[in-house]
Each structure stands twice: as structure tokens, then as C-alpha cells.
Structure 1
């Protein structure tokens, strides 16, 4: 860790979420002071009046937009928050983005235009999407995952690796300033193969059924997800799961000097914790 990071205070948006909670843990383990930014802590991406109190006096921030990074409102929100952070002296900003998602580039450009010392972490699909959030309930209760992943391979990444990369970017001086770092897991798996590995680790029968992105969007609407949130997700699934991301990225090895965690290890640990028990 660089000498000038020992007393660093980092704002972590989405601090109770999949990546934010791990970034907070990794930052604390690295000796940083973490300032959690979530609705539970009085911070709201949609309410600009809540931003200054969280940002003021901090040295850096981890930015993760609460909806999809390619959503229509994401670029404006990222741009406004980044400009406010820089204006308050918080110049070091790391944004979580997505590999291969054209809609995400507007938010990345908004960050670049803020005057911040920025880093973008472009991530593959999270392994923890199978163990946290809406997908896990479906696997646990019905023993089946219905999803628009087709037979496209994806290098699922453990979010703990994302967190370690983010903290390294924050604490390694200027090495990653002005850079986009693409990260993925160490091997390609289709969604069906991923579910099969989970089934083996969990010791129960689990199956995968592919549907179109549009059909999946109709299912989300039926679950009560607002139409303005469903449409960007459908578009993102159509983009991200069309084969463009069926390749590995070596950002974890470049930044951390080690290989990323394997999906099998994630599945084994989550199964041991009872994640997919009915």
C-alpha cells in the first residue's frame, strides 16, 4: 500500500450490496477508513441533497449505480455525483462498469469528464448472481433457473476479486488512474454448466432453461418490476449474452498478481453455507 493511503477515507456506495459490501470489507482489511453510502446510511443516488454530507472530507469513492450501469439515468447520475465529489475534494473515483455493454460507455464517459482521478473496472457476470438476489430464490424453491443466457459461455467472476481489484486501484498510487481494467473469472462456463456445478456442490438436482431476453422481461414485469427498469435490462441481456463476452480478461492477474477465484470454489463455499437448500 502506498504511504499516502494509510489514512485514506473511502466512500463506498452500495455498501450493503453484492460488490459494495465486499469492497467495504476489503478496504477495511487494507487499513482504509470506510464510509458506507447507502439508503440505510442516509445516502440516495436519486436525492442530490444526501450526497455532500457523505462525500465531504473523504479521499476517494467507489461508485456502483443502483440499477444497471447502462440504464438511461445512469450516465447523468454518475456524472453529477462525480462532479460533486471532485468539487468537495474527493478526486479519486473508481466506477464499476460492465464488459461489452455499449450502454455503459455513457456513464464511463461521464466519469472521465468530471475531472476526477478515475479508474473504471469493467466486470464480467458475477458468480454471486447465483447466490444472492432474485436468481437464488428461483433455484432454491423450484430447482430450476429460467434465464436468457442461452448456451453462451461466460467467465463468471467472484465479486471478492472485484473488491480486491477496486482496493488495489485505490491504494496503488497513480498506477491505475485514467485506466479501464477488464476483469473476469479464469474459465468459460455456459449458464447450464454453471447450474450443473452448483447442483453438484449442493447435492441436489438443479436445472437450467433458456428463454429469450424479451420473454424474460415479460416474466419480470409479471413479478412487478416497473417497465422503465425492465426495458434496459432486456436490452442489456440481449447485448451481453450474444457471445461478445465469451472470452477471458486478465485484469485480476494484472492488478493482483494472481489468478482469479474459480467458479467451483465459489459454488462449494456457497453450498456449504446452505445457499441452495430448499
Structure 2
């Protein structure tokens, strides 16, 4: 099935695209830098990206919980159906009630669907978002002491690729997490052990973090989202990786050692 991978240059999208291509699946990258161009903020770009596609990996930016996301996803899904798309795999955030409306849009669209609900990505610490903080030795976030079952982006991509190529995953919502709970302080300790450097976690207020995001040109709403989804609501394990792939999820310590070996935190 020719597949449009939205966010095809992002953490999960580029991995999904790579897995599909390795299986011989025709892949079109959906991004602002691709040809044809795709931009969530410009619906005029959607038709060209959807033309000839049978399946879509739907990764919405910046997040399904942000204001206006559901309406945008609904408009896109309606276009996708008109273009003959018959299968959609949606990446959703775990513990985000506001994102469930977007999930419902996909489920009610009439196409084959799979929802992959993911916890915080391991790769947030090595690919853009928190990587500079790790290099600096201090991870400052408004997340408190709640534990999170961090998940590897490679696991997310493998589940998504399986759902895009195998109809047996139709109608499933997979809860994707890693195999254990970790606080952000424990994450800092894991990265410290992997790098041989001291990495500290520093809790900060939402206001201070929003100001830091603003200074970096990032959406301030991320501060509210981080604080909300780390209030303890996600402090339990999911078994979607095992259910979808028949193997355990990757552990954060393994990720940290592999990432450290690349020099990304040097």
C-alpha cells in the first residue's frame, strides 16, 4: 500500500518511513521540505500529498492535545477518505484526554485504523528537545516527581509499520510504554551512568519553563502539557509493544548506552 508518512523527517516518522521502504512499500514523506510539500497549517498542500496514497501514518504537530488539533485532523481525514485512503495509523499521546477526540475522528472515518498511544519518547533526550540540556548537564522541566514509562521511538515505529502493512492490527489501540517506570531524576541518573558524566534533574515551575520555551521560539503550551501528563496519570505500564510485536519493549538503559556511544551527549 503506497503510504504517506506525515512527520516523515521527525522522530517516529523517519523511522516508520525507513522500515516501510526496507519492506519495499512505496513511501511518500509528508513534510514542509518534501515534494509534494505537506504543511498542517496550509490545507492547500494536503491534496497533492494524498494523491495516489492508500495508507497514512498520521503524526500531528505540535500535539493532538493543542487547541484546534481535532478540527484540523478532521479536515485532513475527510480529504484522505476522498482521495481513497483506506488505512490510517494515528500516533497519539498517552494520558491526553484532549487528544481522544482526534482518535475518535479516525475511528469514525470508515477506514481501517490503528491508534498507537505513546508515552514520553526516550529519544527526546538525544534528538533535539532535551538534548542540549543533557549536554549542558542539567535537565530542567516542570514535571515533579511522577514516574513515567519512557518508550523507545524505534518500538513506536515498529508497531506503526506493522499496523500499516498488516490488517490484523485494524481496530486496535496500542498502549506503548517501556518496561519500567522512571522519574526524570532517575532518567538523569541512567544517562549519567551511560555517559560517565553527572547529569542533574532540576524541577522548575510551569511559568519558568514557559519563559524558557518562549525564548527558544517553541510553543509555550508545551509547559502545560508536560506538567499535565506527568501528574501521575501515566505512572503505569502498557503492553502494546508486546501485543503488537510479540516481544518486550526496549529498556531506557539500553537506549541510553546506545545513544551515548554515538557521541550525541559529548
SS in structure 2 opposite 1:79? helix
| Pair 1:245-2:234 in alignment | yes
Partner of 1:5: none
Partner of 2:224: 235
CA distance in 1, matches of 2:72, 2:220: 19
> CA offset at residue 230 of structure 1?
1.4
Q: Give the root-mean-square deviation of aligned CA atoms.
A: 1.3
SS in structure 2 opposite 1:39? coil
Partner of 1:110: 105
> 8 Å contact 2:142–2:223 — kept in the other structure?
no
> 8 Å contact 1:182–1:249 — kept in the other structure?
yes
CA distance in 1, matches of 2:258, 2:184: 19
Match of 1:214 among 192, 196, 207: 207
> CA offset at residue 251 of structure 1?
0.3
SS in structure 1 opposite 2:169? coil
> 8 Å contact 2:149–2:180 — kept in the other structure?
yes
Superposed counterparts of 1:193-208, under 5 Å: 193-208=186-201
CA distance in 2, matches of 1:155, 1:79: 30
> 8 Å contact 1:76–1:110 — kept in the other structure?
no
> CA offset at residue 238 of structure 1?
2.7
> How far does the alpha carbon of each residue in 1:171-224 deviate from its partner, in whole angstroms, 9 at most, with x for none?
222x22222111100111111111111111111111110113333112212333
Partner of 1:94: 89
Divergent runs of 4+, >4 A: none
SS in structure 2 opposite 1:31? coil
Partner of 2:24: 31
CA distance in 2, matches of 1:134, 1:235: 16
CA distance in 2, matches of 1:27, 1:12: 10
> CA offset at residue 249 of structure 1?
0.2
SS in structure 1 opposite 2:235? coil
Match of 2:163 among 153, 160, 169: 169
> How far does the alpha carbon of each residue in 1:41-78 deviate from its partner, in whole angstroms, 9 at most, with x for none?
11111111111111111110101111011011211111
Partner of 1:131: 126
SS in structure 2 opposite 1:40? coil
> 8 Å contact 1:60–1:90 — kept in the other structure?
yes
Q: Which runs of 5+ in 1 are unaligned?
A: 1-7
Q: Which runs of 5+ in 2 are unaligned?
A: none
For normalisation by structure 1, the TM-score amounts to 0.91
CA separation of 1:51/1:238 partners in 2, compared to 1, >3 Å: closer, same or farther? same
> How far does the alpha carbon of each residue in 1:213-243 deviate from its partner, in whole angstroms, 9 at most, with x for none?
3331122123333xxx313x23322320000
> CA offset at residue 151 of structure 1?
1.5
For normalisation by structure 2, the TM-score amounts to 0.95
Partner of 1:266: 255
SS in structure 1 opposite 2:12? helix
| Pair 1:150-2:144 in alignment | yes
